[in-house]
Amino acid sequence: MPELVKLTIDGKEIEVPAGTLVINAARQVGIEIPAFCYYEGLALQAACRMCLVEVEKAPKLLTACTLPVAKDMIVRTETPQVAAARKGMLEFLLANHPLDCPVCDKGGECELQDMTFRYGAGESRFSEEKQHIEEQQWSPVVFFDRPRCILCFRCVRICNEGMGVAALGVINRGARSEIAPNKGDHLECDECGMCIDICPVGALTSGIYRYKTRPWEMEYAGTICTHCADGCKTTLSVRNGRVIRGNNRDHSGINGEFLCVKGRYAFDFLEHPERLHQPLVRRGVELQHASWKEAVALVAAKFNEVRERGGAFGVIGSARTTNEENFYLQKFARSWLNTNNIDHRRSGDVVALLDALAGLPGSLATTADVYHAGAVLIVGADLAQQHPLLSFQVRANVRHHGARVYVVHPHPQREDKVAAQVVRARGLAGIGQIREKLAGEQSLVVLFGEHIQGADVRRLVEMLPATARYVALVDYANSRGALDMGLLPDLLPGYQPAPAPGLSLQEMVGASLDVLWVVGANPLQGRARASGFLVVQELFLTETARQADVVFPAAAAYEKTGSFTNVCGEVQRLKKGPAVAGPKTDLEIMGLLARQMGHELAPPLPEAVFEEIRRSVAGYNIPYATFVTGAASATQYPNGPIARQGSSELIRSARDTLFTSGTLGRYCSVLNSVRERDLVRVEE
């Protein structure tokens, strides 16, 4: 613990740890010292001079953003001298600012506007001609308006320090200084939009959102991203039932300020012209529109018929549907369709990890652990491409806590740049090379990819210190939840053994089952169906849906309530963004089928199913209040051996990049528009 230092800010005495900056000390007593360039977590700049404060005995005003507290320091943050200085700074800033607030995207959310309002620098004494520079488009999603830019360099720092991309820089000098993209007139980067989000003014604007609306005309729903497994909160801005933008401006999720290109922009699939809005039923060779009533009746009849004659069902679930839906689906399959033929596409060996951690409680790392751990080992994973939040956490950890990062991967990775050691080798063999070093790491978080599976997972755990915490990396938003909810042929929810293991996904797609029911997955990509009757719940007419007998149009995660469990095993709540007409949530569809089949499974209400999960699934008895207030709750794992049955060495990551997202990604026009280079590839 650093020693505490007592000081006085605006007459309030406080004690803070030595080394605290005055700007942060002030915050602790509710005093907001204004700043443009200061941004917590990024390098200090002292460039905007807005945070000047009076310090007793100092000959001139000092910047609170670079001033560490000192014993008995007396700080005044709102004296006439300070207010005059700030007003002066604003006057300088506004001198060349275009003042096009009425049409600026940032209007209403602009820090410069707010500050001008606060310090009353509303009148201009600047009568010289302003320097005009045409707006530039740097990428499909990033636009830059130089005259609006106040050169706070937040964008440059977040791109460099936060993202590790360094796609933005500063060119020229003096009043001609400009933020510039890395490719002359355009950007080649992650397209994460962090630069736009962090811009205090309307200099960097989003190609997706710009000139669409005013911020006060929207409603906001903070939900969980539907793409990768990291579980970032994305706040959907909705106007007239349409999502206009995604961001995480209130920093309330596990991701803080972070969002990648997918979390921020890849919601446009919701309005893709090929989105299914009506059920489809095969009539002859063609799939034709049908009413919900007709489609549900048809499927229910078929299910009942096969069920009654003891026919074979196969059920394939999804890594993007909610825990409630997955739980309901497996319950439907097991208790009503009497089958353990249930599976989903698995992308990381969580099961082997949990088994290996039997007797080692508390050995799963949370998202926050990746930021706080003393050391991070990354094995066989392209974190920057596949787990952008975890990658962000690793970099932040290095910047803020000096974490030691070990990268074990046969190919160069972004994390190499911040690594204490890089081993250009694969898996356990690679770890073997640094085993001694790792043995000394008492606070180690291990992130490992799909290649370490089965018995290797146990070997990994045995090689590393007993205090190490782990994340088995998986692909999609609810990949982890699908496992926890028992979308597995051999394991029930909570990893309890299934009495008689069923068929795996790979076996099901090749088997001639009487019914194959696919909920939110595309297992028949590039292969013909083998089963007798195929029911698909989907957003789009995928390769699988195209072969179906009945297709139900499903709602997307952004149109649902429910929960996801992220890669670290943290449960978070989905909030419904836009209302959708036509499609129904998978839970509703299942409910309709159950009712039509004359079976009272359980009320198909997310809240009701969630309660059942909390009660019945081991590890999911999470605090309800935490859940409903939108925070993440870490689940517990069985902490005992898991009885795996049959061969399930079928794990394979889809190796999505930042710009792909499985089948869903194909319907995200923004992702496709920034994919230009296709240079990005996740190396095995």
Partner 1 sequence: MTFSAELEARLADMVKRYPPGHLRGALVPMLLYIQDEVGAITEDVVQEVATRLQLTPLQVEEVVGYYSMLRRQPAGRHHVQVCTNISCLLRGGEKVWDHARRQLNLQHKETSPDGQFSLEEVECIGACSWAPAVQVGYDYYHEMSPEKFDELVEKLKNQ
Partner 2 sequence: MYNAPHPLEVRILTRRFGLPNSASIDTYLAHDGYKAIEKALAEMTPDKIIEEVKASALRGRGGAGFPAGLKWSFVPRQSPKPKYIVVNADESEPGTCKDRLLMENDPHQLIEGALIAARAVDAHAGYIYVRGEYRYLIDILDRAIGEAYQRGYLGKNILGSGFDFDLHTHSGAGAYECGEESALLESLEGKRGIPRIRPPFPAVVGAFGCPTVLNNVETFCSVPWIILNGGAAYANLGTRKNGGTRLFCLSGHINRPGVYELPMGFPLPRMIEEVGGGVWKGRKLKAVIPGGSSCPVLKAEETNLPMDFDSLQAAGSMLGSGGVVIIDEDTCMVKAALRIMRFYAHESCGWCIPCREGTMWLGKLLTRFHAGAGTMSDIDLIRELAQNMLGKTFCPLGDAAALPTISIVKKFREEFEEHLNGRKCPHEGKG
Residue 309 contact among partner 2, partner 1, none, beta carbon within 5 to 8 Å by kind: none
80-95 vs 111-119: helix crossing angle, rounded to 10: 130
Residue 75 DSSP SS3:
strand
Q: How far apart are CA 527 and CA 662, in angstroms?
A: 17
Residues β-bridged to residue 228 = 476
Diameter over CA atoms, the chain: 92
Residue closer to partner 1 by CB (options 168, 381) is 168
Site size with partner 1, rule: CB under 8 A: 11
Minimum Å distance from CB 182 to partner 1? Answer: 4
Binding residue for partner 1 (CB under 8 A) from 11, 132, 172, 528? 172
Q: CB–CB of 306/533 below 8 Å?
A: yes
Burial class (CB within 10 angstroms; exposed 0-12, middle 13-18, buried 19+) of 521: buried
Binding residue for partner 1 (CB under 8 A) from 42, 180, 236, 674? 180
Contact between 170 and partner 1 by CB under 8 A: the answer reads yes
Residues β-bridged to residue 472 = 448
Residue 182 contact among partner 2, partner 1, none, beta carbon within 5 to 8 Å by kind: partner 1
Residue closer to partner 2 by CB (options 19, 640) is 19
Stretch that binds partner 1, among 16-24, 177-185, 274-282, 492-500 (CB under 8 A): 177-185
Structure tokens at 97: 């600012």
Structure tokens at 100: 């096009």
Structure tokens at 35: 């700043």
Residue 167 contact among partner 1, partner 2, none, beta carbon within 5 to 8 Å by kind: partner 1
Residue 89 contact among partner 2, partner 1, none, beta carbon within 5 to 8 Å by kind: partner 2
Residue closer to partner 1 by CB (options 179, 266) is 179
Q: Which residues contribute to the site for partner 2 (CB under 8 A)?
A: 44-50, 52, 60-61, 66, 85, 88-89, 91-93, 95-96, 125-126, 128-129, 150-151, 170, 172-177
Binding residue for partner 1 (CB under 8 A) from 62, 166, 511, 618? 166
Minimum Å distance from CB 420 to partner 1? Answer: 15
Minimum Å distance from CB 156 to partner 2? Answer: 11
Contact between 43 and partner 1 by CB under 8 A: the answer reads no
Residue 150 contact among partner 2, partner 1, none, beta carbon within 5 to 8 Å by kind: partner 2
Start-to-end C-alpha separation, the chain: 43
| Nearest C-alpha neighbor of 374 from the set 354, 338, 398, 358 | 398
**Alpha helix stretches (DSSP H) within 96-134:** 111-119
Q: CB–CB of 447/423 below 8 Å?
A: no
3-state secondary structure 519-554: ECCCCCCCCCCCCCEEEEEECCCCHHHHCCCEEEEE
Minimum Å distance from CB 172 to partner 1? Answer: 4
Residues β-bridged to residue 74 = 8
Residue span 76-105 as binding mask against partner 1, x where in contact by CB under 8 A, dash where not: ------------------------------
Q: CB–CB of 486/574 below 8 Å?
A: no
Is residue 155 within a helix (H) or strand (E), and if so which, with residue range? Answer: helix 154-157
Q: How far apart are CA 176 and CA 682, in angstroms?
A: 40
Residue 180 contact among partner 2, partner 1, none, beta carbon within 5 to 8 Å by kind: partner 1
Minimum Å distance from CB 91 to partner 2? Answer: 7
Residue closer to partner 1 by CB (options 186, 458) is 186
Helix and strand totals (H; E) in the chain: 23, 30
Minimum Å distance from CB 84 to partner 2? Answer: 8
Is residue 437 within a helix (H) or strand (E), and if so which, with residue range? Answer: helix 435-439
Residue span 181-220 as binding mask against partner 1, x where in contact by CB under 8 A, dash where not: xx--------------------------------------
Q: How far apart are CA 129 and CA 132, in angstroms?
A: 9
Residue closer to partner 2 by CB (options 128, 436) is 128
Contact between 136 and partner 1 by CB under 8 A: the answer reads no
Minimum Å distance from CB 173 to partner 1? Answer: 5
Q: CB–CB of 21/37 below 8 Å?
A: no
Contact between 673 and partner 1 by CB under 8 A: the answer reads no
User: What is the binding site for partner 1 (CB under 8 A)?
Assistant: 166-173, 180-182
